[in-house]
Structure 1
C-alpha cells in the first residue's frame, strides 16, 4: 500500500513483534510475518515444508474477539447496493468493534489478571494493524476521497456505513469518530465466519490475531494464503476491504435498472466473432456477464439495435461520474510511485476507479459493435 505502509511496518518492527507475541501467548506457528522476495505486501510465509492439511497456526481461543449472531442482526450483505438508509441495526462488525475499542481503552485494567493481560495483548496487536491513514474502506474515507472514487453509489454507501457505525458505537470508548470507523473497518474485513456451535444456533465470527495477517489468493504457494471467495465484484470488495484487483472475471457493473431489454446471447456471440474486442479473457467475461442476456434467437435487427442503444444510454449515464480519463488515472498512479509520502488511500481509490473505467469502456465497445452489426436496413448507408 505504498511507502507510508512500508515505513509504518519498519518502524513497528512487525516481524519481530509477531514472533515475540506468538511465543509469549502460546501460539503454535509454522509461519513468519515477512515481505515477499522483491518487496510487496507483508504476509505469512512458511518456515518449512508442510503437508496438505497440516496446521500452520494454532491461536488460543481466549485471545480472539468473538461475536455470536443475534436475531434481527443486519445481514451486512450488498451494503453498497442499498438505495436508502435502513434502521441502524447492530451486527457482528460493530459488536466486534466495540470489543476492540474496549480492549484498546484498557477496560480490563492495567493490573494483573486475565482481563488485563488480554487488554495488553490487543494494545500491542493493534499496532500491527493498518493505521487509519492507510485504510481505504469507504466508511473510513473523508468526503473528498469518497468523491475521488467517481462512483456515486459506492461513495454514498460509504457515508451510510459511517452514519450507521457512529450511531451504534456512540458510547464506545474511543478518542474520535475516526477511531470508531477504523475499528469497524478492522472488524468487518479481518475476522472469520465460523459455523454455528449447535443446530438452531446462529453463526459466530472471530477476530483471530496472527491468522488475520494472511493475504488472499486463490492458489496457494510458499506464502500461507486465504481465499476471500471468487465471486465478489470490485465494488463489493472495495466496500468491504478497501481494495480491488486490477481486473477479475467476477467483476460486474452495478445492477441494471428494471425495464432494459436483454440482448440475444446467440446474436451477441455472432457479433463477437465478427468484431472481436481486444481484452483479456477475464475482463471480457466480466463485461459480457454485466449485460442482460437471454437464450434463444434474436427477435430481429431492430430489436437488437434498440436494446444495445438503450444499454449504451444507460452506460453513458452511469459513467457520468468519471471526472478523469483512464490515461490520467494511469499517470496519477505512476506519479505516486515516485512520491515517498503519497497517500495510500488515494492510490487505492484511483486503482478502484481505473478498474471500473476499463470495464465500462469494454462494455461500451461490445455494445457499440453489437449495435453496428444490427443496424436496421433502413439506416444503413
Structure 2
C-alpha cells in the first residue's frame, strides 16, 4: 500500500528537505514521518474498516470473474462428448462448451479466456450451466480477513501518529525551522524557487533527475554532432557556457530540464508508429473461405495505412498466406487484349453486387479502399490532375479517362462534372484492377483477396508471393526471412519502377527518393553522345558536398547521376564541360515553369501533415508527395550542374 517517496500517513502534511541546504522545501523525503495534524486513531480505524468492507463486498458481488478455459479440444471430440452444453459468454463471442463444471473451447480459439459479467446470483441461470470458481472466499472468511486487515491498518496509523512527536532540532524533524511551528502555530509555506541542478556534492542526490539529465546530455551530444552548435537558442547557450568552461548542470534548472525532456518524449511518442487492433473482418473471412494465414490486418500511423502483420513468430520459408484460386477473380487470355482491365473491372463490379453467401467479394468489399482515397490519375478530377504540376502525367490521366468515356459513356462523369462526381463506380473498379491484379500463370491476371493487403517496399521485402499449381491452384505468400510476432510483411509490387509509372499504376510514391527515377530528356542526350560530363569532376563535386562515391549514396543523388551523360574516359577541357553543364542546367530549369508552388511551400505542408498539425485528403496528400519528389529530383540535378559549372570555371582560371 505504501511505496518509497510517499508519506506514511496519507492525511498528514509531508516533511521535506532541500537537497542543497537541508532546509524545508517541496520535495518529499523517502519514508518521511508525518506532521502532527492527524485523524484520531479510533476514527481512522473505523473509516478504514468501513472502506475495506465495502470494497470487499462490492468486488465479490458485482465484479466480473475471469474464467480460464482449462482444456482446448478438437471440434470433433467436443461433438462426441456427452452432456455438452453450448455457452454464450457475455463478452467475446467464443464458442465455449461445458460438461458439468469443466469448460472447453474448440482448438484454434484466438483467446484462452473470457469474461462473464453479472453478479454471482445470476451465473447459474445462464443457459442452464452452473459456473463455479475455486478462488473466492466464503463470506465468514472474507469478513474475518477484512476485519483483521482494517485493524492492522488502524494500529499502523496510531503508531505513525505517535512517531510524529519528534524533536524540532532533529535532522528528521517534521517541524518547520523556527519556534512558531514548534509551538503549534501554522506558517505559510514558501513558494519553491527554480534551482540549478547539482548532481554531485554534499547531501542527498536526486537519482531520478540525475538519470534524466544524463539522458538529456546524451541526446544533446548526439544532436550537436549532427547539427551546428548555433542551431537554436538552447544549443547556442550551451556552446557559450562550454566555451567559458562551465558545465551543463550549471546551465539547466530542474524546470528547464523537465520541459526539454517532456518535449523530446512528446516528439518521440508522436513519431513512433502505432498499430491498431487486428481487423476482425479479415480474420473471419479468411476462416470462412478456407484461407490459411499466419497474418493479421492492422492499421498504422506511419504513412503506410493498413498492412499485414505476423500473428506469431515465423521462420524463413514459412507459408504466411495461402489463398485458393477458387476464391480469386481470374481473367484469362489477356495477351493482345488492350481492354482486359476494363473487362475484368466489370466482372468485379458484378461480383461485388452479388449477395450470394459463397461470393467472397461481396463480403470482402468493406476491406477494399474507398474511391475517395485512391489517387490513380485515371480516377482524378481535372482540378486534382492539375495539382500534380506535371503536364505529362496530367495528359496521361485525361487520356485514360477518355478511353473509358468512349467505351462506356453512361458510366463516366462528364468532362466538366464537379469533383464530387469523381471517380465513378467504373473508374473505381478499373483503379482496383490496375493497382491490385497479379499475374496468375502465362497470360492470366487475378484479383487476389487477402494478399492485396500487403504493402510495398522499395528496399528489401521480407516476403514474396507466387502462383502454385500443386496440391491445388493457389496464391502463396512465403517468408523470405525470420520474423518476430507483430512485424509488418512487405512485398515488392514491381522492381525497377520509377515514380512516374508507380504513381500511374498505384496512385502513390514512397517519399525519400527513388533510385529508379530518371531526369526527363536525358536519355536522348545520352544516346546522341553530346554534352558529356566527366566522372572525375563529378566525383570532386560530390566530395565537396561530403558525399563519398564509395559509400551508399542518397537515392535522389543516385537517380541524378544515373540520368546525366557521365563518361569515365572522355577527357574534356574545363571550358567545354562547363558549357555542357550550363546548357543541361538550362534545359532542366525550363521544367520548373510547371511548378505553381515552391518546393519549400510543399515541404512545409508535408511536415505539418506528418506532425499531425494539418489534416489532408488522402488523394491530395499522394499528389503532394509525388510533386515534392519530382521537384527535389530536378532541383538536385540543377544544383549539381551549377556546382560543376563553377568548378570548371575555377579549374580553367587556375
- Provide TM-score, normalisation by structure 2: 0.48
* Residue of structure 2 in register with 1:232 after alignment: 497
Q: In 2, are the aligned partners of 1:94 and 1:169 still within 8 Å (CA)?
A: no
The unaligned stretches of length 5 or more in structure 2 are 1-274, 414-420, 463-482
Distance in 1 (CA, whole Å) between partners of 2:430 and 2:278 is 22
> How far is the alpha carbon of 1:143 from its aligned partner?
0.9
> How far is the alpha carbon of 1:342 from its aligned partner?
2.6
Counterparts in 2 of 1:173 and 1:229: CA distance versus 1, 3 Å: closer
Distance in 1 (CA, whole Å) between partners of 2:532 and 2:619 is 38
* Residue of structure 2 in register with 1:164 after alignment: 403
> How far is the alpha carbon of 1:341 from its aligned partner?
5.5
Aligned partner (choices 599, 610, 628) of residue 354 of structure 1: 628
RMSD of aligned residue pairs (Cα, Å)? 3.1
Secondary structure at 2:367 match in 1: coil
> How far is the alpha carbon of 1:302 from its aligned partner?
3.5
Secondary structure at 2:493 match in 1: coil
Aligned partner (choices 421, 434, 448) of residue 208 of structure 1: 448
Alignment of 1:270-289 (within 5 A): 270-273=539-542, 275-276=544-545, 281-289=554-562
Aligned partner (choices 322, 335, 339) of residue 90 of structure 1: 339
Distance in 2 (CA, whole Å) between partners of 1:177 and 1:35 is 25
Alignment of 1:181-196 (within 5 A): 181-196=427-442
Alignment of 1:170-185 (within 5 A): 178-185=424-431
**Count of residue correspondences:** 339
Counterparts in 2 of 1:340 and 1:318: CA distance versus 1, 3 Å: closer
> How far is the alpha carbon of 1:161 from its aligned partner?
1.9
> How far is the alpha carbon of 1:128 from its aligned partner?
1.0
Q: In 2, are the aligned partners of 1:302 and 1:376 still within 8 Å (CA)?
A: no
Q: In 2, are the aligned partners of 1:262 and 1:294 still within 8 Å (CA)?
A: no
Distance in 2 (CA, whole Å) between partners of 1:225 and 1:359 is 26
Distance in 2 (CA, whole Å) between partners of 1:275 and 1:194 is 50
Q: In 2, are the aligned partners of 1:192 and 1:206 still within 8 Å (CA)?
A: yes
> How far is the alpha carbon of 1:68 from its aligned partner?
2.3
Aligned partner (choices 640, 643, 649) of residue 366 of structure 1: 640
Secondary structure at 1:298 match in 2: coil
> How far is the alpha carbon of 1:374 from its aligned partner?
2.3
* Residue of structure 1 in register with 2:287 after alignment: 23
Q: In 1, are the aligned partners of 2:515 and 2:556 still within 8 Å (CA)?
A: yes
- Greater mean alpha carbon deviation, residues 18-27 or residues 265-274: 265-274
- Provide TM-score, normalisation by structure 1: 0.79
* Residue of structure 1 in register with 2:522 after alignment: 256
Distance in 2 (CA, whole Å) between partners of 1:365 and 1:177 is 39
Q: In 1, are the aligned partners of 2:412 and 2:424 still within 8 Å (CA)?
A: no
Task: Encode CA deviations 1:216-249: one digit per residue, 9 max, x unaligned.
Answer: 2224252222112341111111111111111122
Counterparts in 2 of 1:47 and 1:274: CA distance versus 1, 3 Å: closer
Counterparts in 2 of 1:277 and 1:126: CA distance versus 1, 3 Å: farther
* Residue of structure 2 in register with 1:6 after alignment: none
> How far is the alpha carbon of 1:168 from its aligned partner?
4.1
* Residue of structure 2 in register with 1:84 after alignment: none
Distance in 2 (CA, whole Å) between partners of 1:365 and 1:345 is 30
* Residue of structure 2 in register with 1:243 after alignment: 508
Task: Encode CA deviations 1:326-376: one digit per residue, 9 max, x unaligned.
Answer: 210122223445467531111111111111111111101111111222239
> How far is the alpha carbon of 1:47 from its aligned partner?
1.3
Distance in 1 (CA, whole Å) between partners of 2:347 and 2:624 is 33
The unaligned stretches of length 5 or more in structure 1 are 1-8, 74-88, 111-115, 197-202
Q: In 2, are the aligned partners of 1:102 and 1:173 still within 8 Å (CA)?
A: no
Q: In 2, are the aligned partners of 1:267 and 1:297 still within 8 Å (CA)?
A: no
Aligned partner (choices 546, 566, 571) of residue 298 of structure 1: 571
- Greater mean alpha carbon deviation, residues 141-150 or residues 170-179: 170-179
Distance in 2 (CA, whole Å) between partners of 1:176 and 1:374 is 52
* Residue of structure 1 in register with 2:140 after alignment: none
Greater relative CO, 1 or 2 (CA 8 Å, sep 6+): 1
> How far is the alpha carbon of 1:127 from its aligned partner?
1.9
